[in-house]
Homo-oligomer: A and B are copies of this chain.
Amino acid sequence: MTGTGPVLAIDVGGTKLAAGLVEPGGRLAAAAQTATPAELDAEGLWRTLDALASRVLAEAGLTPAGLSGVGCGCGGPMKWPAGIVSPLNIPAWRDFPLAARLAGRFGGLPVRLHNDAICMAAGEHWRGAGRGRSAMLGMVISTGVGGGLVLDGKLVSGASGNAGHVGHVVVDPAGPPCVCGGRGCLEAIARGPALAAWAQEQGWRPGRPGVTARDLAADAEQGHPIALAAMRRAGRAIGIAIASATHLCDLEVVAIGGGLAQAWSLLLRPLEQALREHLGLDYARGVRVVPAALGQSAGLIGAAALLLAGDRYWPGPG
């Protein structure tokens, strides 16, 4: 990093696009977002994102020359580190060269792009719940279940940049099929749509179409027994996956974000019960499981951390 200006941070999700300015110390100084347009083609979607980023810069009175780089989180899968993205929930982009387009638009600035859940984990480790810890798992539980793994103080890439996919830890070998092609993955049980579908199979009748895990959590808050059972099922599955990850990776802290984390009070008890049952080894019992501290800002702050935190969240020099 040569500049001392802020980093333009971008977060591309299936529901919303967000852009912001992150100061070198990690403060999110400005941010804007817009719903991800569903009807546009690849170029239309790019223009929407470009306009959003341009607006954030204009409102701050900045030109690209005043930035020190561009950090971007995007839904997976992707070719990494090339930054060629095919987000599951954004059909318009298939093999879209997002990192190269950003580099073209912000000519001369360094651009780094990674999985959005990995950015959330980087943000939480850099400036959130994992600050100062050597071993952290960040989890994002919403439409899917993603994550990022920081071990020995550094973001783990894995062989192909895909380390951190905690959503596909097997929590019940006899469990339901997963969208990944496997069976009994955490995501197959705990992702929002799976939770809502399970509750409806059990007889939950929310009285309107298009219900989500948010409605389910609201009903659980009201004491609806099937909704409560669904949240218990999710909390328990999350706890089993955390037990496996903690034993394997010797984690100190697990930070959970995403929509479902907003139902924390409903998830916590079954999650802790599962940890009590499945966390055996002494070193593992001390793991702290906490809600993400940066909330909705974790993704943007983490996208900026790809550039601002030395090579802690990006491999090698570069």
Contacts and interface: CB of A to CB of B under 8 A. Distances in A.
Most buried by B among A159, A164, A165: A159
B165 A156 contact: no
A152 to B, nearest CB: 5
B158 A251 contact: yes
A247 B315 CA distance: 20
Contacts of A159: 133-135, 250-252, 283
Contact of A173 (B133, B161, B278): B278
A185 interface: yes
Main secondary structure of the interface of A (DSSP, over half): loop
A280 B182 contact: yes
A159 B152 CA distance: 7
The number of times this chain is found in the oligomer is 2
A162 B243 contact: no
Contact of A158 (B152, B158, B165, B278): B152
A250 B158 contact: yes
B156 A277 contact: no
Interface residues of A, number: 54
A163 B252 CA distance: 11
Interface in A45-94: 77
Given A171-B173, A183-B277, A152 B250 contact: no
A163 B243 contact: no
A281 B164 CA distance: 13
A157 interface: yes
Interface in A149-178: 149, 151-152, 154, 156-173, 178
Contact of A163 (B170, B172, B250): B250
Nearest to A77: B282
A196 interface: no
A157 B152 contact: yes
Contacts of A98: none
A143 B242 CA distance: 25
B240 A163 contact: no
A218 to B, nearest CB: 28
A206 interface: no
A173 B248 contact: no
A249 interface: yes
Give me the 8 closest cross-chain CB pairs, A-B, nearest first: A158-B250, A180-B280, A182-B280, A181-B280, A168-B247, A163-B250, A135-B159, A162-B250
Given A182-B278, A185-B280, 10 more contacts: A133-B159, A135-B163, A151-B163, A156-B249, A162-B283, A163-B250, A164-B250, A167-B247, A170-B244, A182-B243
Interface of A: 77, 133-135, 149, 151-152, 154, 156-173, 178-185, 240, 243-245, 247-252, 274, 277-284, 315
10 contacts: A77-B283, A149-B248, A149-B249, A162-B283, A168-B248, A169-B247, A171-B173, A172-B173, A184-B278, A249-B249
